[in-house]
């Protein structure tokens, strides 16, 4: 099947406006790739096809290599970086959370709630690994029909649900004040924010906010702001917008600031991501 015409050391991004709920990233030699701790609003799953890496998912740190399938629930802080000077290769899929939640409901998982996260975040099951690679080859092939691509996407993620049952609904109640802090940031992250503003919105002291926010969301309020700006930038770049305009709207000081931060979070330049 046709392969992306891109140098091995450069990331390849696949998107199709006809399938807006899925995005794919691949790299054949990512030994110089370095991710900062970050989170996505999407569900992510990836197949490691070469090399070795340290894999951080929430509070869990593991070592992965070819044959591993990594599973990252939405909004969970994670990072995956090469462990040695060898060709680190992987294929990563990003799924819209609402699309996947709808599939879960159709399969009988959590029919009266939103997305059910997966408890297992790393698997070496050969069929899941082979299936994810086969799905990649299929969807990046421009000769394949839209109907077959969508059908195979549904088939794979149906199998995933059945192989790695979603975790039961958490009994832990979120802290309402911390939720208010996150919601305030969500509504204001594109402008300059002061810690006292976030504290006032949540009615919390600075010391408690910083400590408890990290416990609940896996990052400090500042990191959460930057992460939201990067997620916003990704969405705008997918629309093909000018990098300088995106930088200004996202709240970065200038285009260079966006470039530096984007590389830390996405391990690619804004231009590479936009394509």
CB count within 10 Å of CB 74 equals 19
158 and 189: one domain?
no
Q: How is residue 58 written in tokens? A: 């929430």
Q: Which residues, other chains included, contact 170 with Cβ-Cβ below 8 Å and sequence gap of 6+?
A: none
Question: Contact at 8 Å (CB) between 47 and 94?
Answer: no
Choosing from 132, 163, 194, the residue where a domain stops is 163
Q: Between 97-106 and 146-163, two packed helices, what is the crossing angle to 10 degrees?
A: 70
Instruction: Give the dihedral sign, CA 120/122/125/126.
Output: positive
73 and 114: one domain?
yes
74 and 183: one domain?
no
104 and 233: one domain?
no
17 and 134: one domain?
yes
Choosing from 163, 195, 219, the residue where a domain stops is 163
201 and 97: one domain?
no
For residue 55, being part of any structural domain is answered with yes
CA 94 to chain centre: 6
98 and 198: one domain?
no
Q: Quick one: CA torsion of 185, 188, 189, 190, rounded to 10 degrees? A: 180
Residue 269 sits in which domain range? 176-274
Q: Which residues, other chains included, contact 155 with Cβ-Cβ below 8 Å and sequence gap of 6+?
A: none
Question: Contact at 8 Å (CB) between 147 and 101?
Answer: no
33 and 156: one domain?
yes
pLDDT by residue for the chain (275 residues), tens only, comes to 444 445 667 889 999 999 999 999 998 887 777 778 899 999 999 999 999 988 999 989 999 999 999 999 999 999 888 877 778 899 999 999 999 999 988 888 765 568 889 989 999 999 999 999 999 999 999 999 999 999 999 999 999 998 987 766 554 567 899 999 999 999 999 999 999 999 999 999 998 899 899 888 888 999 999 999 999 999 999 999 999 999 999 999 999 999 999 998 898 999 999 98
Q: Token pair 């060709």 is at which residue?
A: 87
**pTM of the predicted structure, to 2 decimals:** 0.81
Check residue 159 and give its pLDDT.
93
157 and 187: one domain?
no
Domain count, the chain: 2
């Amino acid at each position: 099947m046709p392969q992306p015409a891109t140098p091995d050391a450069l990331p390849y991004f696949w998107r199709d406006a006809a399938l807006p709920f899925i995005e794919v990233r691949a790299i054949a030699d990512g030994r110089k790739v370095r991710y900062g701790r970050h989170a996505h609003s999407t569900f992510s799953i990836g197949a490691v096809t070469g090399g070795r890496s340290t894999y951080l998912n929430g509070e869990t740190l593991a070592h992965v290599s070819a044959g591993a399938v990594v599973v990252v629930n939405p909004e969970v802080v994670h990072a995956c970086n090469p462990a040695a000077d060898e060709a680190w290769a992987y294929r990563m899929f990003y799924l819209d959370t609402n699309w996947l939640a709808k599939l879960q409901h159709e399969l009988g998982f959590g029919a009266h709630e939103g997305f059910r996260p997966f408890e297992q975040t790393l698997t070496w099951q050969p069929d899941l690994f082979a299936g994810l690679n086969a799905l990649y080859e299929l969807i990046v092939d421009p000769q394949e029909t839209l109907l077959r691509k969508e059908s195979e996407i549904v088939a794979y993620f149906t199998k995933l649900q059945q192989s790695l049952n979603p975790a039961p609904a958490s009994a832990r109640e979120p802290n309402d004040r911390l939720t208010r802090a996150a919601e305030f940031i969500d509504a204001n992250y594109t402008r300059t924010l002061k810690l006292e503003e976030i504290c006032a919105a949540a009615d919390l002291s600075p010391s408690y906010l910083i400590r408890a926010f990290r416990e609940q969301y896996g990052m400090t309020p500042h990191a959460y702001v930057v992460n939201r700006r990067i997620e916003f930038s990704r969405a705008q770049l997918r629309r093909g917008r000018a990098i300088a305009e995106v930088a200004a709207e996202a709240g970065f000081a200038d285009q260079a600031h966006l470039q530096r931060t984007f590389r830390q979070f996405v391990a690619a330049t804004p231009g590479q991501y936009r394509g």
